Amino acid sequence: MNREEKHEVVSALQEKMQDFGNFYIADTSSLSVEKINNIRRKCFESGIEMQVAKNTLIRKAIEGLEGDNSSIFEALKGQSAILFSRTGNGPAKLIKALRKGSDKPQLKAAFIDTAIYVGDNHLDALVSLKSREELIGDIIGLLQSPAKNVISALKSSGGKIAGIVKTLQEREG
Look at residue 153 in the predicted model and tell me its pLDDT: 65
Residue 63 has φ and ψ, to the nearest 5°, of -60, -30
Class of 3-129 per CATH? alpha beta
Per-residue pLDDT 10s for the chain (173 aa) are 788 898 999 999 999 998 888 899 999 888 888 888 888 999 999 899 999 889 999 999 998 888 888 888 988 988 889 999 988 888 999 988 888 877 788 899 999 887 889 988 888 888 888 777 788 888 888 887 777 776 776 676 666 666 777 777 787 75
Look at residue 98 in the predicted model and tell me its pLDDT: 86
* Domain boundaries of the chain, sorted by first residue: 3-129, 131-173
Q: Parallel, antiparallel, or unpaired for β 49-52 and 22-27? A: unpaired
Model pTM? 0.73
